[in-house]
């Protein structure tokens, strides 16, 4: 397995994506989305990451975040949420989803029965205000591009409302740009 060309820069805001294996639409279930929201809230509350923007779609999420060790924190997030999602699927007898997650698990992951997340998060450092604004707009427009809504304020799982000075679902640290 080759080294990734993607690198995290300390404390710099990054745009990143976390995608479910085979783009399975796990997050069409609000209870599974809540696992993501609770985990991100925990990381923010314990000052492990600052969330600057996000959108959660049915099979992936985009995040703009910063941290002194963002790579480690995103790895922790993905590991914790994967275990929690599998536990929820087992407890709720969702055998179809479990069989899909087992089928699409990469062969080299011999210590796991299931795989939730694709490997990597493809971090992109946001080095200028212009690039930050471009990525934030990309994040907030994602549900519109998918044809789910006409107005980004209508997507529940997004930081768009926070940027309108309304209460969102996650604590957002707005950057001064």
What pLDDT, on a 0 to 100 scale, did the predictor assign at position 4?
A: 42
pTM of the model: 0.92
Q: In degrees, to the nearest 5, what angle opens at C-alpha 117 toward C-alphas 3 and 50?
A: 85
Q: Provide the H-helix boundaries in 11-128.
A: 30-45, 70-91, 95-103
Mean pLDDT by 10 residues, the chain (177 residues): 47 93 98 98 97 98 96 96 98 98 88 93 93 97 97 97 95 84
What pLDDT, on a 0 to 100 scale, did the predictor assign at position 33?
A: 98
What pLDDT, on a 0 to 100 scale, did the predictor assign at position 10?
A: 61
**Tokens (6 digits) for 29:** 């279930």
What pLDDT, on a 0 to 100 scale, did the predictor assign at position 7?
A: 53
What pLDDT, on a 0 to 100 scale, did the predictor assign at position 107?
A: 81
CA neighbor of 157 nearest in space, from 67, 32, 23: 32
What pLDDT, on a 0 to 100 scale, did the predictor assign at position 3?
A: 40
What pLDDT, on a 0 to 100 scale, did the predictor assign at position 85?
A: 98
The Cα–Cα gap between 77 and 23 comes to 18
């Amino acid at each position: 397995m080759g080294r990734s060309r993607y690198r995290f820069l300390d404390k710099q805001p990054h745009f990143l994506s976390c995608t479910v294996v085979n783009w399975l639409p796990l997050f069409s279930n609000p209870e599974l989305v809540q696992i993501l929201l609770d985990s991100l809230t925990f990381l923010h509350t314990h000052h492990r990451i600052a969330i600057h923007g996000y959108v959660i779609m049915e099979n992936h999420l985009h995040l703009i975040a910063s941290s002194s060790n963002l790579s480690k924190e995103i790895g922790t997030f993905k590991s914790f949420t994967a275990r929690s999602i599998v536990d929820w699927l087992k407890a709720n007898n969702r055998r179809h989803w479990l069989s899909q997650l087992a089928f699409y698990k990469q062969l080299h992951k011999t210590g796991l029965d299931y795989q939730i997340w694709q490997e990597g998060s493809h971090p992109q450092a946001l080095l200028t205000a212009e690039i930050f604004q471009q990525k934030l707009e990309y994040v907030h427009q994602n549900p519109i591009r998918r044809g789910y809504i006409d107005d980004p304020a209508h997507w529940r799982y997004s930081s768009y409302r926070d940027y309108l000075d309304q209460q969102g679902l996650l604590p957002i640290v707005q950057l001064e740009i």
